[in-house]
A and B are shown apart, each in its own frame.
Chain A
Amino acid sequence: MLELQQLVRRFGHRVAVDGATLAIPAGQMVGVIGRSGAGKSTLLRMINRLIAPTSGRVLFEGRDVTALRGRDLRGWRASAAMVFQQFNLTPRLDVLTNVLCGRLNTVPAWRALPKIFTPRERTLAVRALDRLGMADFAFSRADALSGGQQQRVAIARAMMQEPRLILADEPIASLDPMNAKLVMDALRDINARDGLTVLCNLHTLDIAREYCHRIVAMANGRVVFDGPPAALTASAVREIYGNNTNGEQHVSQTRIRRAHSGAGAGAYGLGASTVL
């Protein structure tokens, strides 16, 4: 169980996240939606403490992770794996080393500095890559790969952390629809097969509807909707995106073609293009 209690983050006078409170049971796949600047990224980054909350608490299985420092904090980060919009791999290193970086929390400095990894770690890395269909690229440099391939490597790195939850910050925002589908399928597979909690920031409604058990919507730093995709009615969507054409842009960007039409956005009576 991951609990956010009254999380607030201010940047100067601007309030990025304004009192977010959520309780997420283990194994749920949650989509966080909202306009750019709604506070989705800040919320996710506060969970693994890349950004420190101004006030409020994050509890994981009853433990207050907002109070952690030093080694304990790094240990928490290792168990709350982050997947970034821009992948955040090290470009000049090969794919295998990038994936092995997922172990850096447990590798002692005397091995980390000269890049000495054990055969077991390498086996884990190759398995993680293989699961994402990227084993053939193990020796390529990370910057030689396409965006979609880099994101799959980044997910393999996240799996190397043997995490308890995955925080994906706009994982498909810089990808084409084909790669977006591959990446979202991989996240769903991790959620379903490994039982990991997945928190995924998305800016497209239909993807959130298709992949997530639960949708949390943010506007102006506040949680304005929290419920199953079916409960996300047209009026709720209007509140999230604002009643103007801007909203339509958000909703219709980067759409994945449905594999099965039954669960299409139309089934809820609000296809992406008919929302506004």
Chain B
Amino acid sequence: MSASLDLFETRYAALRRKRRTTTLLGAAIFVLLVLCAIFDTEFYPSKLLAGIPKIGEYFDKLFSVAPARGQPRVAVLAWDHLFGGIDEAQSVAYWFYRFGTYASLLWQTIQMAFVSTIMGATIGFALSFPAARNLGTPKLVRLATRRALEVARSVPQVVLAFILIWPFSIGPLAGILAIGIHTAGALGKLFSEINENADMRPADGIAAVGGGWLAVVRYGFVPQVLPNFVSYALLRFEINVRSSTIMGFVGAGGIGQEFRRVISFNIYEEVSAIAILIVVIVSVLDLTSERVRARFMAARTA
């Protein structure tokens, strides 16, 4: 008895040694990778510490501005001038004197996000069914669809916009297409995963009555998965609003072009004015779509 226990102990110790070696080897590789990444990107603590105090400088410039070169700096946020007229330096009206331009560009930005989300969700919807593993799609079609979706979502949107400006010229169309293509790739993948997690019993039911592939999709899958699809599409809309603010940087429409202009001219008041507007709009849209999504989720579980 004790001999067999000894044998057990020996074997157990050997197993533990083997496991420990594997763990240590894995940890060593991981640490090596982290170090490589740090040196490659020059993510050095010394640089980090040196830069931190300068973060405040930008905000200093925001909150106290020299009205002209050489003149003493004036506080930006102060009651005595905050609600002054358009001529009073550092009043809200003075900051946002180009509000009309911003508003129309912001509106364009939201419209871009909206159209590109609709486009992406529609394409993603159509492709999510042939891309799902549980719909009996021929393997070749399924793999081709999945690869196409991968390509669509792996090219960075700004790069895509830059390429699309060539054929479609400067303006929102290139931006919409760029975001739309990326959205199709991202949502197509998510939608196909939702399909793969769907309850197969309704689909079996439709197949058993002699319904074809389209009937199985329409009556076995769509009613089940649609609330989830809508929820993800709304989430994507939030993301796309943020993405479309960047599109203008490469000339693909929206508030981004104005943002780039004021940044390159160092017009700090306008940079902040636009940044604040973007933050406000994005937050409002996030909150709204969160509410709508919550209602869809509730409808789904009910």
Interface residues of A (CB under 8 A from B): 48, 50, 74-79, 81-82, 84, 86-93, 97, 101-105, 107, 109, 112-113, 154, 157-158, 160-161
Does B214 have its Cβ within 8 Å of any Cβ on chain A? yes
For the complex with contacts A88-B202, A91-B202, 14 further pairs of A-B residues with Cβ separation under 8 Å are A48-B208, A74-B211, A82-B205, A86-B201, A88-B201, A89-B202, A90-B220, A97-B219, A101-B215, A103-B209, A104-B215, A105-B210, A161-B209, A161-B210
A101 to B219, CA, bound (A): 8
Does B20 have its Cβ within 8 Å of any Cβ on chain A? no
A112, B214: Cβ atoms under 8 Å?
A: yes
A245 to B204, CA, bound (A): 34
Interface residues of B (CB under 8 A from A): 199, 201-202, 204-212, 214-215, 218-220, 223-224
Contacts of B219 in A (CB 8 A): 90, 93, 97, 101, 104, 112
Q: Within the complex, which residue of A50, A75, A93, A107 is in contact with B208, where a contact is CB–CB below 8 Å? A: A50
Contacts of A90 in B (CB 8 A): 202, 205-206, 219-220, 223-224
B208, A101: Cβ atoms under 8 Å?
A: no
11 CB contacts below 8 A, A to B, read A79-B210, A88-B204, A89-B202, A90-B219, A90-B223, A104-B206, A104-B219, A109-B215, A112-B215, A160-B209, A161-B209
Closest Cβ of chain A: how far from B222's Cβ, in Å?
A: 9
B223, A93: Cβ atoms under 8 Å?
A: yes
Question: Which 3 pairs of residues, A with B, have the shortest CB-CB distance?
Answer: A88-B205, A105-B210, A78-B210
Given contacts A90-B224, A91-B224, A93-B219, contact A104 B205 (CB under 8 A): no
Using CB atoms, name the residue of chain A closest to B226.
A92
A78, B224: Cβ atoms under 8 Å?
A: no
A266 to B94, CA, bound (A): 97
Closest Cβ of chain B: how far from A109's Cβ, in Å?
A: 5
Using CB atoms, name the residue of chain B closest to A158.
B209
A101, B214: Cβ atoms under 8 Å?
A: no
A254 to B208, CA, bound (A): 26
A71 to B81, CA, bound (A): 78
Contacts of B199 in A (CB 8 A): 91
A87 to B204, CA, bound (A): 10
A81, B220: Cβ atoms under 8 Å?
A: no
Contacts of B223 in A (CB 8 A): 90-93
Closest Cβ of chain B: how far from A68's Cβ, in Å?
A: 11
Closest Cβ of chain A: how far from B205's Cβ, in Å?
A: 3
Contacts of B215 in A (CB 8 A): 101, 104, 107, 109, 112
How many residue pairs at the A-B interface have CB separations less than 8 Å?
Answer: 87
Contacts of A91 in B (CB 8 A): 199, 202, 223-224
A112, B218: Cβ atoms under 8 Å?
A: yes
B224, A102: Cβ atoms under 8 Å?
A: no
A74, B202: Cβ atoms under 8 Å?
A: no
Using CB atoms, name the residue of chain A closest to B204.
A88
Contacts of B207 in A (CB 8 A): 50, 77
A260 to B302, CA, bound (A): 42
Closest Cβ of chain A: how far from B2's Cβ, in Å?
A: 41
Contacts of A93 in B (CB 8 A): 219, 223
Using CB atoms, name the residue of chain A closest to B216.
A104
B209, A78: Cβ atoms under 8 Å?
A: yes
Using CB atoms, name the residue of chain B closest to A114.
B218
Contacts of A89 in B (CB 8 A): 202, 205
A101 to B214, CA, bound (A): 13
B211, A104: Cβ atoms under 8 Å?
A: yes
Closest Cβ of chain B: how far from A213's Cβ, in Å?
A: 24
Contacts of A79 in B (CB 8 A): 210
Using CB atoms, name the residue of chain A closest to B223.
A92
Using CB atoms, name the residue of chain B closest to A75.
B210
A105, B209: Cβ atoms under 8 Å?
A: yes
Using CB atoms, name the residue of chain B closest to A157.
B209
B210, A50: Cβ atoms under 8 Å?
A: no
Contacts of A105 in B (CB 8 A): 209-211
Please indicate which of the listed interface residues B205, B207, B211, B220 has the most CB atoms of chain A within 10 Å of its own CB: B205
